[in-house]
Amino acid sequence: MSAKQPILTDGAWGTELQARGLGPDELPDFWNVAFPERVEEVARAYVQAGSEVILTNTFRANRVVVVERDPSADVAALNRAGVEISRRAAAGRARVFASMGPSGKLLIAGDVSENDLKAAFAEQADALAEAGADAIVVETMSDLVEARIAVAAAKATGLPVVACMVYDSGRNKDRTMMGVTPEQAADELAAAGASVIGANCGNGIAGYVPVCARLRAASSLPVWIKANAGLPELAQGRVVYRTSPEEFARHIPALVEAGAGYIGGCCGTDPEYIRAARAALARACV
């Protein structure tokens, strides 16, 4: 398949924290201060499963989201704590790439301004960098304008930046909610300063194989893929993901062939998926 084995990243954080008691309406990022030991359990489990890169519990830790929940919250402290937790768990065995997610507001609807986003992402990126992150991952983006703003803020820290969009819309599930194609994202994210481009969440792993190939064809940058364990379904009031670790792992060779440089999991995945992916990578890359 490939002489060079892709770097194995981690799996989901939100569902793992929920398994440790996080309520459906709680902001996971607050646990960096309230229950750091539980957050560290998640990070350490991924390191033990074989992740070479782990993220941080800072996906929603930007001012736009945090202050809406708690106006008195210390945004920088939440981000610094998130990096410190993952660094402790990594213990030199994995690199720590800090997570920056979207604001949850629509620029096109006027819910937030570009200046507000610039300030929020700059504050978050600076705190993540100061705490010792090895890189920053701008992830789960659907709006290219917001993604570019976040990438620019992360790039200004001097750290490498991974930039990912969510592809789960359109007839072939190959566009973001805002209609962005992999080719458009590749061009604009590279121009914004990304060191790695990619896709996460959204589509299941089978659907991300062609997305990966298109990103690789459109850019010379490495490609990062973290797919869900299938598309989410509602069962008895709970969100479930039907793809098993074994089925997830069966698509790993195709992702390698499509040019993925980083492979991990998103919603619905856990350390068992990472173990299965690690074994699949070892078989595929000989």
DSSP-assigned states of every residue in 103-134: -S--TTTTSS-HHHHHHHHHHHHHHHHHTT-S
205 touches 161 (CB < 8 A): no
Q: What is the CATH number of the domain that holds 274?
A: 3.20.20.330
pTM of model > 0.85: yes
- Identify whether 97 is part of a domain: yes
* pLDDT tens for the chain, residues 1 to 286: 344 799 999 999 998 999 999 998 999 999 999 999 999 999 999 999 999 999 999 999 999 999 999 999 999 999 999 999 999 999 999 999 999 999 999 999 999 999 999 999 999 999 999 999 999 999 999 999 999 999 999 999 999 999 999 999 999 999 999 999 999 999 999 999 999 999 999 889 999 999 999 999 999 999 999 999 988 888 877 778 889 999 999 999 999 999 999 999 999 999 999 999 999 999 988 7
Q: Are strands 233-235 and 238-240 parallel, antiparallel or unpaired?
A: antiparallel
Residue-level pLDDT at 252: 97
First vs last C-alpha separation in the chain:
7
Closest CA to 85 of 141, 6, 28, 137: 28
- Identify whether 212 is part of a domain: yes
Residue-level pLDDT at 147: 98
- Identify whether 112 is part of a domain: yes
Q: Which domain holds residue 145?
A: 7-284
- Identify whether 24 is part of a domain: yes
> With the CA atoms of 164, 218, 152 and 12 taken in that order, what torsion angle do they form, in degrees rounded to the nearest 10?
10
Closest CA to 82 of 43, 137, 51, 49: 43
- State how far the Cα of 126 lies from the Cα of 120, in Å rounded to an integer: 10
- Identify whether 26 is part of a domain: yes
Domain count of the fold of the chain = 1
Residue-level pLDDT at 49: 98
- Identify whether 38 is part of a domain: yes
- Identify whether 163 is part of a domain: yes
- Identify whether 188 is part of a domain: yes
